[in-house]
Chains A and B, each alone.
Chain A
Amino acid sequence: MKYVCDVCGWVYDEAEGAPEYGIAPGTKFEDLPEDFECPLCGVSKDNFSKE
């Protein structure tokens, strides 16, 4: 599943994770920490929608 930042368009792909930000491949979006921020624009998790 992919999630896209509503503000800047950055995409979180669960399969790929985000290794450059310390998030392992396969990490479910819901398992990201509550204080997870979009690495591109800094907004919180609730600003993401399912792609």
Chain B
Amino acid sequence: MEIKYIGVNDRITDLFEGQFEIPNGISYNSYLVRDEKIAIMDSVDLRFFDKWLENIKKELNDTPPDFLVVNHMEPDHSSSIRHLVLEYPSIKIVSTKKSFDMMRGFFGTDFDESKIVVDNGTALSLGKSTLTFYTAPMVHWPEVMVSYLDTEKTLFSADAFGKFGALDHSEDWACEARRYYFGIVGKYGAQVSSLLKKLSDLKIEKICPLHGPTLDSNLSYYLDLYEKWASYQPEVDGVFIAYTSVYGNTKEGALLLKDELESRGTRVSICDLAREDMHEAIEDAFKYNRLVLATTTYNNGIFPFMREFINHLTERNFQNRTVAFMENGTWAPNAAKTMKSMLENSKNLTIIDTGVTILSALNENSRAQIVALANELVK
């Protein structure tokens, strides 16, 4: 009984899923489980089919695999299904009913001759070992399931516990896993929590996600982070300042606030939303327990990058944090009001009333407001 990695690294895509920057690439993970029967766990993006098939053949030579287990139908993991079936016509596809419905959409067929439909708790014997499937609806698509291999105490976790970054690039796990989580899964915290609960009775020693490294030591570190992220609890005591600036005056205000906070011993992260990776900013908003939004009044509303940023947050159920506002305006500053109203329906936010209004450029007044805001934020 062994699990072999047969996935591929993608160093070609610049924007993953059409929006996420991946300077260090990404991996599409696939695994081969070899017992009396042979199961392939998930496929890869079609552009990497040849490399994947080569990996499979290297392990199996001419032996055909018995099963393709499909944990997730998003094309980065499913677009090679049809090609695999053409290569191995005897293979059985194992997945949920909803996955087969999606296959009809993607491929025009649900592979009726090859399909094995499984549901929550269905077991599939491979010989000495057994795969058991657990449905994970909306983590982060409705058809998702995860698979547990009993003899190896291994969880094939679909996109959960995934991260950006190809496997030949080594970097801190949490930063790119957090950016992945809040970017892609963030809205579905409740569903992630219920999956974690569903799995809590399993003895898990190894997690094989669909992106990023296999996790096989110190699992409580990763599970604890996921519990926190799924329940929207902040991870770090500190302030994240997200700003936009047209002529540099709002930026000056944001930087002054940063200095004031740091001189009070507070950890600060700061981001120019127009120039830096938006998804890093989203990640930081969820990472820190306090958020300051600083922007310009624009078209009687707010600067577009700030609007986009706040929309990203509210779509992802931003909650449980302290928020303060800094606005700039030359004739009728009302950015704070707009930002506040955009966050109106967000749960459990503590809004700091001490705001900062910059009239075009910093002056004695607005400097004093920034000092007062710093005091309020560290209270």
Contacts and interface: CB of A to CB of B under 8 A. Distances in A.
Interface string B185-210: 00010110000000000000000000
Nearest to A42: B137
Contacts of B142: 8, 40-41
A45 to B, nearest CB: 15
Interface string B89-121: 000000000100000000000000000000000
Contacts, number: 18
B184 interface: no
A7 interface: yes
B188 A7 contact: yes
Interface string B150-193: 00000000000000000000000000000000000000101100
Interface string B209-222: 00000000000000
B138 interface: yes
Q: Bin chain A's interface residue count.
A: under 10
A7 B137 CA distance: 10
Contacts of B191: 7, 41
Nearest to A9: B142
Nearest to B143: A40
Kindly name the residue among A8, A41, A43 whose own CB sees the greatest number of chain B CB atoms within 10 A: A41
A37 B66 CA distance: 34
A8 B187 CA distance: 10
Contact of A40 (B137, B188, B190): B137
Contacts of A7: 138, 188, 190-191
Interface in A2-29: 7-8
Interface of A: 7-8, 40-43
Interface of B: 98, 135, 137-138, 142, 188, 190-191
Q: Which 9 A-B pairs have the closest CB atoms?
A: A41-B137, A41-B138, A40-B142, A42-B137, A41-B142, A8-B142, A7-B138, A8-B138, A40-B98
Given A7-B138, A40-B142, A41-B142, 15 more contacts: A7-B188, A7-B190, A7-B191, A8-B137, A8-B138, A8-B142, A40-B98, A40-B137, A41-B137, A41-B138, A41-B191, A42-B135, A42-B137, A42-B138, A43-B138
